Structure 1
Amino acid sequence: MFLAFSLLGTPLHGYFFAFHLLHIANHNQMLKRVFQAVTRNGLSLVWVMIYSLAIFYIYALICFAYYREIFDEEKGNYCSDMFQCTITVIRRGLIFGMYDYFDVPRNRSFNYHLAKTAFDISFFIIITTIGLNIVFGIIVDTFSELRDAKWRIDKDMSSVCFICSKNSYDFEHYGGGFKKHIVEEHNQWAYLFFFLHLNETRFNDYTAIELYVWKLYKKDRLDFFPMNRSLTLQAAEDAKDEAKMDTLLSQVAFLVHRRKEEDAFREREWQEAAQRHWEEQQKKASRRAQEQQQSSALRRRAVVELLTSSSEDEDYN
């Protein structure tokens, strides 16, 4: 388009070069979003415009049938036929307002004024208020959607790693933070330069890793990207696992030591109980022996006494 303006401006007139100022929109993201707000829902705007033209045609038909005499051609208000009347209603009604340029003649009745008032008010409500606000609403809503999409993209760029898709808060306590991660560990420009290197290097000069990446790249596969993986986080996870293992080992050692102490305590209790049982058995055996000795002594004494008494009886006889 700008080439056409240049070709027209050179032989015809220099005024065409003024359109080159519109080129600033190609390098301004804000202006691009403004244009997208109009063109993104262009079909909706087209249907609203078609519907508005139908309403304009109805009002032009009413003007042609009942208010044709108030159209002054000297002031540029033409209404000799339906086409002229429609163009006049669209121009005057959409840009300026029907009630500002069409006055009711003085010799008309109150009913005529009342009908003209209803006509002007309905035109103001339907066209000026509702119709234009619908158009502005579509444009504003689309611009808001584009702004929210831009905000989400900016937030994603600043809080999510482009390479591994990890969130920034995952790196807050490991490896020096998210900024260091995207600059040193997963630098997106380093990956871009690597792809440029693959494009500029001959196929026979590829290393094993470069050949592997090139084959996946040609197949539109991204398996070589470390999705949801990071050496920093992996090291942190390994450190956590080692810490957990150390904790588990210490707990197991404590439980083993505790079990050994309990087993030793139960062994001592069993030995003490066995010792007490042995002592009780020995005491019982000693008492039984003493009782047997006493009973034996008593029997011997009784026998001796019996023998003594028998000998005395024999001597007496």
Structure 2
Amino acid sequence: AAASGGGLLLSVLQRLEGHDRLFVLVAAMTRFATIYRAALILAALGGLFVSPYCYAIHLVGIIDRSAILRNVIVAITQNGRSLLLTMALGVVVVYFFAIIGVHMFADAYGSAADDAVEGGAASDALVDANASGVARTVPGSDADEGNCSTLMRCFVFILTQGLRQGGGIGDAMAGVPWAHPLHSARVFHDFLFFAVMNVVFLNILFGIIIDTFAELRDDKNTIETDMTTYCFVCGLDSDTLEKHSATGGF
């Protein structure tokens, strides 16, 4: 098939001249099939001359051989724009929570030194407790700065940890005593993040992908119904043909 396709391309190029030939050549080189096969060739060359691990890229060929896996990829890429816009909205919401976190709950996010102490990797790290009872690094120690000491750190920490926690970013933060003046604000903050990001946002992403699967299934059923109930030559449905047929068959 590849050889016949290449021969067809050469025959088309021979009939064209100038800009038309260049346009057809660029269009052919930018096709997904061409780029895909070129990537496989580069991976093979990389496996020969760079590292055998480059051969692992050839494993993606299973997608090209399975219609089911192709539908999985289509379900993600068909509504890629909607997914990207939804994720961009999620990043904006996380940024808002980072602004709140860096100004109100910075100490509750802990630090890299606190994480090491919890994991037993740096038991000699200097840790103190502030007025709210939340563990934090002692000022002037050699330990790392807090996870929410800057807006960028707070944003990255919430983005990487918040969505991976079953209960939201609150699971990755230290607790706040009941008597603390910001206790009510902290409860509202944790619940709002869980409701907006872990419940609504993630389900929107999953819903877009699941709806795409449903659309693909409906399209497939429509095609199969059209093939079994309509004549592909005249376009008449099976009932009409059976009604006017001498044999009564479709």
TM-score relative to the length of structure 1: 0.51
Structure exhibiting the larger radius of gyration computed from Cα positions: 1
- Distance apart, 1:159 and its partner CA: 1.8
Q: What amino acid does structure 1 have at the position aligned with 2:230?
A: V
Q: Distance in 1 between matches of 2:179 and 2:239?
A: 77
Q: Distance in 2 between matches of 1:38 and 1:70?
A: 37
Percent identical residues? 32
For residues 142-176 of structure 1, the C-alpha deviation after alignment (integer angstroms, 9 at most, x for no partner) is 22111101110111112222222222234446446
Aligned to 1:114: 184
Q: Does 1:165 align with 2:245?
A: no
Aligned to 1:28: 66
Q: Distance in 1 between matches of 2:194 and 2:106?
A: 19
Aligned to 1:149: 219
Instruction: Identify if the C-alpha distance between structure 1 residues 151 and 98 changes in structure 2 by more than 3 Å, giving closer, same or farther.
Output: same
User: Secondary structure of 1:95's partner?
Assistant: coil
Q: How does 1:1-317 map to 2 (within 5 A)?
A: 1-71=39-109, 72-74=111-113, 75=115, 78-96=147-165, 97-106=168-177, 109-172=179-242, 174-175=246-247, 177-178=249-250
Q: Distance in 1 between matches of 2:237 and 2:75?
A: 31
Q: Distance in 2 between matches of 1:174 and 1:123?
A: 69
> When you count helix as a share of all residues, which structure comes out higher?
1
User: Secondary structure of 2:171's partner?
Assistant: helix
* CA RMSD, 1 decimal: 2.1
Instruction: Identify if the C-alpha distance between structure 1 residues 120 and 168 changes in structure 2 by more than 3 Å, giving closer, same or farther.
Output: same
Q: What amino acid does structure 2 have at the position aligned with 1:78?
A: N
Task: Tell me if the contact between 1:104 and 1:113 (Cα under 8 Å) persists in the aligned partners.
Answer: no
Task: Tell me if the contact between 2:230 and 2:237 (Cα under 8 Å) persists in the aligned partners.
Answer: yes
Q: Which has the higher contact order (CA 8 A, sep 6+)?
A: 2
For residues 182-240 of structure 1, the C-alpha deviation after alignment (integer angstroms, 9 at most, x for no partner) is xxxxxxxxxxxxxxxxxxxxxxxxxxxxxxxxxxxxxxxxxxxxxxxxxxxxxxxxxxx
Q: What amino acid does structure 1 have at the position aligned with 2:249?
A: G
- Distance apart, 1:12 and its partner CA: 2.2
User: Secondary structure of 1:111's partner?
Assistant: coil
- Distance apart, 1:46 and its partner CA: 1.4
Instruction: Identify if the C-alpha distance between structure 1 residues 174 and 35 changes in structure 2 by more than 3 Å, giving closer, same or farther.
Output: farther
Mark the runs of 5 or more structure 1 residues left unpaired by the alignment: 179-317
Q: How many residues align?
A: 177
Q: Distance in 2 between matches of 1:4 and 1:114?
A: 58
Mark the runs of 5 or more structure 2 residues left unpaired by the alignment: 1-38, 117-145
- Distance apart, 1:64 and its partner CA: 0.9
The list of structure 1 runs, each at least 4 consecutive aligned residues, that deviate by more than 6 angstroms after superposition, is none
